[in-house]
Amino acid sequence: MSSPFRTWLRRIWVTSGLLFTAWLGWNLQARGVAASAFASDRTVRAEIDLDSIRFVPHELARRHRVNLIFIPGGLVDPDAYVPVVRAVASTGVPSALVKMPWRSALTDAMRLQLWARMLDARTRLGDDRPLVVAGHSRGAAMAARFAAEHPEIVGGLILVGTTHPRDQDLSNARYPILKVMGSRDCVASVAGARANADKLPPHTQWLTIAGANHAQCGYYGSQINDCSAEITRAEQQRQLTDAIRAFVDKNF
């Protein structure tokens, strides 16, 4: 192989990698989230810093004795989940969207940093109530691990679009658990999500949203290996939000 050919092949390879990385970063950015979703109103007070986005219901609007912490999907812009977290907070649940370090928390040090951010958000929400810990995709995997490591403060667990828990056995957990799946989710399929049912307690609530895929659990672009949704993003978001609200209303 001639040296000029190898040089051009290397350039094409590097350029392709850079273009793919740029596309991936653009595709996982939040889109379609109104600026008003980040502002305070008569229902909630919005608080934003580098570690979390918090929505604190005004005193007269608080209806439940828990706080909710939501962890975004891996590499996804956290802002993509603001609509669902704010919608839950508007029903009287102090809620926070906690950002993963480097949007992934891949190392043990990053995981511990994420735990610290979650505990800080819990305090900033106003008191030390039990936590309903929720997450989407990799965020759900981290939620399951946090629940396994902090059972003394977890009051509930919500897993969205994930095959986890795979590495933690939560089958003896006494707190309520909700697992939400999409019939068109080809990243975390219904079959894959149910494959580890033995790691969850018998009282786990299982919900499949017909026509829902993986990416429409947030407001961002498409997801590699995902299937096309058969319902709109707005409809999928409505059903996801309603499921979380109903879970909190029933159990807390």
Q: Closest Cα partner for 137 from 81, 94, 207?
A: 81
pLDDT for residue 28:
81
- Does the residue 23 lie in any domain? no
- Could you tell me which residue, 138 or 64, shows the higher pLDDT? 138
- Could you tell me which residue, 2 or 195, shows the higher pLDDT? 195
- Does the residue 70 lie in any domain? yes
pLDDT per position as a tens digit, 77-100: 999 999 999 999 999 999 999 999
Identify whether the C-beta of residue 171 lies closer than 8 Å to the C-beta of residue 201: yes
pLDDT for residue 61:
62
Tally of domains in the chain: 1
pLDDT for residue 38:
97
Q: Closest Cα partner for 133 from 108, 104, 164?
A: 164
pLDDT for residue 223:
87
**Residue 179, pLDDT above cutoff 90:** yes
Question: Could you say which DSSP state residue 214 is in?
Answer: S
pLDDT for residue 60:
60
- Does the residue 208 lie in any domain? yes
SS3 48: strand
Give 157's strand partners. 133, 177
pLDDT per position as a tens digit, 146-162: 999 999 999 999 999 99
- Does the residue 247 lie in any domain? yes
- Does the residue 142 lie in any domain? yes
Mean pLDDT for the stretch of residues 171-181: 97
Cα–Cα distance list, 156 to 103, 176, 228, 230, 251 (Å): 23, 5, 31, 30, 9
Pairwise CA distance, residues 90 & 6, whole Å:
59
Q: Closest Cα partner for 134 from 154, 149, 119, 113?
A: 154
Q: Which positions ≥6 away from 101 have C-beta within 8 Å?
A: 110, 113, 114
> Structural domain of residue 123, as residue ranges?
31-251
Output the domain CATH number for residue 74: 3.40.50.1820
pLDDT per position as a tens digit, 99-147: 999 999 999 999 999 999 999 999 999 877 889 999 999 999 999 999 9
| Average of per-residue pLDDT values in the chain | 91
Q: Which positions ≥6 away from 225 have C-beta within 8 Å?
A: 186, 187
Residue 225, classified by CB atoms within 10 Å of its CB into exposed (0-12), middle (13-18) or buried (19+), is exposed
Amino acid symbol at 240:
L
**Residue 173, pLDDT above cutoff 80:** yes
- Does the residue 82 lie in any domain? yes
Tokens of residue 67, six digits: 């706080």
- Does the residue 125 lie in any domain? yes
pLDDT per position as a tens digit, 13-30: 655 544 454 455 567 899
Question: Could you say which DSSP state residue 74 is in?
Answer: T
- Does the residue 48 lie in any domain? yes
Tokens of residue 248, six digits: 């909190």
